[in-house]
Structure 1
């Protein structure tokens, strides 16, 4: 019996980030640890249970056998999908089912114990389910992540997994075919939530899609345009001076990297790199790794001490040295906070990291799997075009990301371009024309650039939250939440209530 075995794991909400550097993933892991602690604290301090949560009362991880390929019955391979069920709040037999969809990271028991969907379940008497995405966490086959298995990793297969789970739980709890299900998800799972409603409207009555990049894009330049806007936003501690100094620092860095080896060695010493950036791709890794610190601060603003817009801008503006020297201070603080001896900027190391199929990561983000999905479905490569507003460096190129797809997975640029176009055609991109889908985004979150920010139809609506970052509405509430976020949660609750009323009345729209 597995009882709260993952108290120290890096889990909960999903992540989205692909660029040449690996350091954003390190930042994400730290954010996940803090989110887990926040979840645990919220569960133990609130009255979600009749008594404080006991270890032997934790929801138990269950596993459902799923086919590798739902669309080819000749394929006999299968894997075990992990999921959790929490019946504590369910008003049987008519209470709705709230399904939290997993994505490119592992889930845990806490995904049916806390979060926005659980708070709503307590109000509306819902059965809570959390389903891990195929090939992430422990929902992975014994054969591992060889290409022979990865070929079955896609959003389409993941949606079919949800349909099978829906049938399994409907049978288990004796739910009628028209029983009301509402799906929830944030980031890539936010897209899956919207797409589950879009592609399986007979199974899921409505969907909440938070920070959902429903539009696939190969070269995602707008990501860093949003980062630039956020670094200059006084509401979250940014300023025009901060943005100007970040631009200046990266400009000085780029110029030094172009001058030749004596200057390159000096840069390596300045930023404590593990190796000398000898190749152009290593130099790209260096600038991307430094940019990761700012990009992570924006995407997860307010969640990680020291790595947020206000703190970084304070360093960049108040340093007694030059902007380049302030950037050194930012890098040193990052290494100290992450307990790293040096900054890994070796591109060959990065390729080896993505190529590893034997050390399957069961906890946190599945970097190899997610990079494969970007190569075969989404793109999402965050490049830097300085002339279009990016504050970093042109060395953060699309080519580095595409080379990784080719060398690690054998997926060439023409295939990626086709796959991104197919994804948009299959799901409708920014105009899916679905119904009963609520898109929730924060204006600080760079991923809002690929989501839906305005009402598409009378029942395909959007909430756009001023001053909040990635998936902020999905976290347990906090006294420090801005008023805009509290109001947004009230709107989400009202929308879910309205959907449930329509379901009870049998309203079709």
Structure 2
């Protein structure tokens, strides 16, 4: 297996390669993460496909790439960049268009909440705005610490502290919307019973108090659901965990993914839109994390340059390939960066009303929506047709 060497610049790629064993035992320091990219992932996939085909006697077989979310993008890009190795691809919930600022994610969250209850996003907005105002007064910190069951007394010293706390609470709604009513329970995932309907039910329950109190009740419900004693909402502690370069770090996956957002994709789910229900974590908050965690040279302009290069390399919404199908769910916020309408007969979209992230990739069950069942059947028929070509 090989990797491409880079001089550290986002723009200057060197075509020479080095054995992966040369640095395979190193940690996740920023100097090593420079090898972490979608381009390298595709090169690894190509090498894996070639070797496995030779070992298994499948060199003349037609291969299909499947993926969901970022791997969905990789599946599409694998077909795009290595058409001689992969015959077709199913790119589910794939954000194929890179963008630095992605407030549309929260706009979809608002619409998904409103589809359940028109008042729900309005109540969330009122609660979030109330909390933002209280965070300006240190006298409220003790009560906020208690209301949201924080692991330590709330400390607000910078705008980053405020933004991190607000984003953490918004994440309760963002995660539930993204995975609403999916079938992850088959693999032992906890919390699949918490749906948009459940959260909006809490936000509509006047017996719990005003919208701020209900917002806090949602936070406590999520802690109970995931068997957590308290909510960790400290930006300082977040930085500590994200700066840990050990492979055994609890934040190892987060450190890797955020690095790719800083160097390839952006995807920052900011509150920079009036058409979403949250407050207080604008684009500069997301961008600053790149410099705080990895390298001060990672700034808004370098991230913007990287995003431009990503779209130039893969094509973004205008991907130019054949035999790729793009399933997306209407509830899933990531569909805003995906292909939701047919580009042509060779690049069809399957837009599934009422489903969330990667819904079509989970095992079927009796309570599946009819349109989800039809979407799976449609993808199957497409693959049957393409494999005959």
Common fold by TM > 0.5: yes
Matched-pair contact (CA < 8 Å) for 2:75–2:90: yes
- Among residues 138, 154, 176, which one is paired with 1:276 in the alignment? 154
Deviating 4+ runs (over 6 angstroms): none
Cα deviation digits, residues 255-278 of structure 1 (max 9, x gap): 2123x2112333233212223132
Report the counterpart of residue 420 of structure 1 in structure 2. Answer: 307
CA contact (8 A) 1:441 1:463 kept: yes
Structure 2: how far apart are the matches of 1:331 and 1:306? 15
State how far apart, in whole Å, the 2-side matches of 1:173 and 1:334 are.
46
Partner of 1:263: 140
- CA distance in structure 2 between the aligned counterparts of 1:455 and 1:285, rounded to whole angstroms: 38
Q: What is the total number of aligned residue pairs between the two structures?
A: 369
Unmatched segments (≥5 aa) in structure 1: 1-65, 81-139, 503-509
Q: 1:341 aligns with which of 229, 232, 243?
A: 229
Is 1:488 equivalent to 2:375 in the alignment? yes
Cα offset for 1:404? 1.4
Alignment-derived partner of residue 132 in structure 1: none
Q: 2:386 aligns with which of 496, 499, 504?
A: 499
Q: How far apart, CA to CA, are the structure 1 residues paired with 2:14 and 2:318?
A: 30
Query: For residues 307 and 386 of structure 1, what CA distance do their matches in structure 2 show?
Result: 27
- SS of residue paired to 1:76: strand
Contact 1:195 1:427 in 2 (8 A): yes
1:365 is displaced (CA, Å) by 7.1
Aligned to 2:388, the other structure's residue is in SS state: helix
Give the match's secondary structure for 2:246.
coil
Alignment of structure 1 residues 2-13 onto 2, 5 Å: none
The alpha carbon displacement at 1:161 in A equals: 0.7
TM-score, structure 1 normalization: 0.70
CA distance in 1, matches of 2:263, 2:133: 35
Can you list the C-alpha shifts for 1:419-477, whole angstroms capped at 9, x where unaligned? 01100111001111211110000000000000000111220110000100000100111
1:313 Cα deviation from its structure 2 partner: 0.6
TM-superposed CA distance for 1:324, in Å, is 1.2
Determine if contact 1:316/1:327 at 8 Å carries over to the other structure. Answer: yes
| Higher RCO (Cα < 8 Å, 6 or more apart) | 2
Q: Kindly tell me: are residues 221 and 302 of structure 1, through their superposed partners in 2, closer, same or farther at Cα, counting changes over 3 Å?
A: same
Q: Which residue of 2 aligns with 1:391?
A: 277
Displacement of 1:350: 1.1
Q: 112, 124, 140: which one pairs with 1:246?
A: 124
Contact 1:247–1:392 (CA under 8 A) maintained in structure 2: yes
Report if aligned partners of 1:219, 1:382 keep a CA contact under 8 Å in 2.
yes
Please say if 1:316 is aligned against 2:203: yes
Q: Does 1:400 align with 2:288?
A: no
Partner of 2:333: 446
CA distance in structure 1 between the aligned counterparts of 2:317 and 2:330, rounded to whole angstroms: 17
Q: Is the 8 A contact 2:242 2:251 kept in 1?
A: no
**Cross-structure match for 2:31:** 148
Tell me which of 26, 29, 48 is aligned to 1:165: 48
Indicate yes or no: 2:347 matched with 1:431: no
Q: CA deviation at 1:227?
A: 0.2
- With over 3 angstroms needed to count, the CA separation of the structure-2 counterparts of 1:357 and 1:161, relative to structure 1, is same
The answer to which structure has the higher helix fraction is: 2
Partner Cα distance (1:190, 1:359) in 2: 25
Offset from partner CA, 1:112-159 (integer Å, 9 cap, x none) = xxxxxxxxxxxxxxxxxxxxxxxxxxxx92112122221111000111
CA contact (8 A) 2:71 2:94 kept: yes
Quote how far apart the aligned CAs of 1:69 are.
2.1
8 Å Cα contact 2:270-2:286 kept in structure 1: no
Which of 269-278 and 366-375 deviates more? 269-278
CA contact (8 A) 2:120 2:204 kept: yes
Superposition deviation, residue 386 in structure 1: 4.8
CA distance in 2, matches of 1:461, 1:161: 27
Equivalent residue for 1:231, pick from 109, 113, 133: 113
